[in-house]
Every structure is written in C-alpha cells, then in structure tokens.
Amino acid sequence: MVVLQQFDEIKWEQHEHYVKQSFRNRCYIKTAQGTEMLVVPLTNKHGKVSSKDVRIDYSIHWQNNHWRTIESAYRKAPYFEFYADDLKKIIYQNQDFLFDLNLELLSFCLKCIRHKPVVAVSVAYEKSPDSTFYDLRSAIQAKKPYSDRSIYKLTSYQQVFGNQFAANLSLIDLLFCEGPQTGSLLLASRNKELNK
C-alpha cells in the first residue's frame, strides 16, 4: 500500500503464473502470542497455474479460524469496530478464486485509506509492460526481508499487544490501530517516490 498511494491507476496482474509461498495467499498479524501468519488454503497445489485460476480450498474451515484470530487480536484496537464488519463480509464471501478475494481486499484497503485510483485487471500477460506502467509484480517477495525494499522505511505506531513494534504486518494491523491516520502513516513510510 505504501507504493500504491502514488498512482492514479493500478493494473492488477491476473495472468502471471501463481507464485507459491508468496504474500498472495498469506499475511501476518500481531496477536497476544506474537506475530501470526494467516494463510488462505488453496486447491491448486501443483504445476504452473495462472493467478486468476487459483482456487480457494473451503474443505478447511479457514474463514472461521481467520476471523476468530483477527477478532481476538484486534477487538480492543481503537478502530476495530469501525472496519470489522466490512472485512468480515469479504472474508465470508466464499469467492471461488484467490484472485477475486485479493481484489476485494485491495478495494477494501484502498477505500479505507481514502485512495481512489482506477483499478483494472490485465487482459494478457506482458513480460515487459509498456512504459506507462511501473512494474511492481515482484517488488515484495516473502523470502526477502522487508528492510531490503528501497521503497519502504519503518514508521512505527502504537500496536495492541506489547511494547516491541512488529513490522511488516498486514494493513489491517495499522488500520485497526490508527484508523483515519492510516493513509498518513503509509505516506510517512514511503522511502522514496518511484519514477513514474
């Protein structure tokens, strides 16, 4: 989100091969027990699959587990009640495809930070998108530390649990803790402008 705020148009890539062990189906939140990873289970386990074709596995009751974990972690956060109902609706929508769930979550996050870019989806895979777009498809990789990202600088805020700040969490941590200040804190976390 730190990067997306500077763009008036975002094209969401749906034709790339799905990258396993990425943030496409997981995120981290801070609980009373420490940092916890939430993972949306998938049915497509093997082979090269286009991102738009990756299906969510509902044989595992992940929605209830995720929501209970989120509620337990953030119900005492100052802005939990302001955003909780909308997030819960998205989690329980039963989207067939991970891409659609992620698009809903992206729209929710953009709305919450009051950023209104034009959001489109790709119509075909482009190895090298035209020069009007800044290619961020590989900008955030789960296997590389967040501190390696030149576009981000750590900006701390008051979290629900503990005195030690936990970085690189889901936007919902910032949103539930800081509410309307989320957009400003994201701007403060931007290390540099991208050359558009």
**pTM, entire model:** 0.88
Helix axis angle for 171-178 and 80-91, nearest 10°, is 150
The pLDDT profile of the chain, 196 residues, written as one tens digit per residue, is 777 888 888 888 888 888 888 888 999 999 999 999 999 999 976 668 899 999 999 999 999 999 999 999 999 999 999 999 999 999 999 999 999 999 999 999 999 999 998 898 888 877 777 777 777 667 666 676 666 666 667 789 999 998 899 988 999 999 999 999 999 999 888 776 554 4
Cα–Cα dist 116/112, whole Å:
10
pLDDT confidence of residue 112: 95
Closest CA to 67 of 86, 92, 103, 42: 92
DSSP H helical ranges for 12-150: 62-74, 80-91, 98-112
pLDDT confidence of residue 19: 83
Which residues, listed in sequence order, are joined to residue 34 by a DSSP beta bridge? 31
Q: What is the distance of C-alpha 1 from the center of its chain?
A: 8
Cα–Cα dist 6/9, whole Å:
9
